[in-house]
Amino acid sequence: MLKPQRLRKGDKVAIVSLSSGMLGEEKYIHKYKLGKKRLEEKFELEVIVMPNTLKGIKYIYEHPEKRAEDLMQAFQDKSIKAIICAIGGDDTIRLLPYIDYEVIKNNPKVFMGFSDTTANHFMMYKAGIVSYYGPALICDFAEYVDMYDYTENMIKDLLFEAKENYEIKKCDYWTNEHMDWCIENMNKGKVKLKDEKGYEIIQGVGKVRGKLLGGCLDAFPIYNGTEIWPTRGVER
């Protein structure tokens, strides 16, 4: 697997809407502006918006070929060093007919997102590129009041620092509070609850060894049987 180069201050990062187009809706455009500001100020990156990223839910849904075009252009653009997804959804699978895996393979760069973005991660895997299942613009970079320090530090450690190995440490807090995305809530932070348990082994004991397939489990049935579904036992 090819690993992309680490990020540096001043690098260009592209924002793409590959599933839901909600980032471009008037109701949520403040989240785009907030996420863009965080990328610029906290990470000193230059934000590039691809041509169709902010065209809204209806257009994005009706034009999977344009979503794929944004992704392919972002990979082909040598000046862009990272691609971050706006958000997930349930529609990324419709990009499949328009993906050029050779373009991805020949232009390795940081790719990050979660949820339905799992389909894109499988595309990266098929192309032989390491990708990062992690924060999306509208959810994590645009968290109201401020980003969680756990998230911010993880991004800096994993994508900017030259480390041979990375330890996933537990976060000292958590939240189960729901908060609507609206301008009125921009200055309201979620209540942080102290983590009293740490790591737990669920329904098991001891140690196991094997390959781990990660991503959004709800979306796995959509991808199973397609050209991007990882083949069991394949080594790269």
Residue 31, domain CATH: 3.40.50.10740
- Asked, for residue 235, whether it belongs to a domain, the answer is no
pLDDT at 80 over 90: yes
- In a domain? residue 2: no
Instruction: Check: CB of residue 126 under 8 Å from CB of residue 152.
Output: no
* pLDDT band of 236, cuts 50, 70, 90: very low
- What pLDDT is stored for residue 232 in this prediction? 56
- Domain tally, the chain: 1
The rounded percent of the chain whose pLDDT value lies above 90 is 82
Position 7 in a domain:
no
Q: Per the domain annotation, does 228 fall within a domain? A: no
Listed in sequence order, the residues at least 6 apart from 215 whose beta carbon sits closer than 8 Å to its beta carbon are 118, 121, 122, 133
Among positive and negative, which fits the CA dihedral 54, 57, 62, 68?
A: positive
> Can you give the residue range of the structural domain that contains 31?
12-223
Rounded to whole angstroms, how far apart are CA atoms 59 and 20? 10
**Spatial separation of the C-alpha atoms in residues 169 and 154, rounded to whole Å:** 9
Closest CA to 159 of 89, 199, 226, 111: 111
Q: Is residue 189 part of a domain?
A: yes
Give the span between the Cα atoms of 176 and 180, in whole angstroms: 13
Domain membership of residue 166 (yes or no) is yes
The residue whose two tokens read 């939240």 is 175
Reported as a single tens digit per residue, the pLDDT across 163-220 is: 778 888 889 999 999 999 999 999 999 999 999 888 887 888 877 788 888 899 999 9
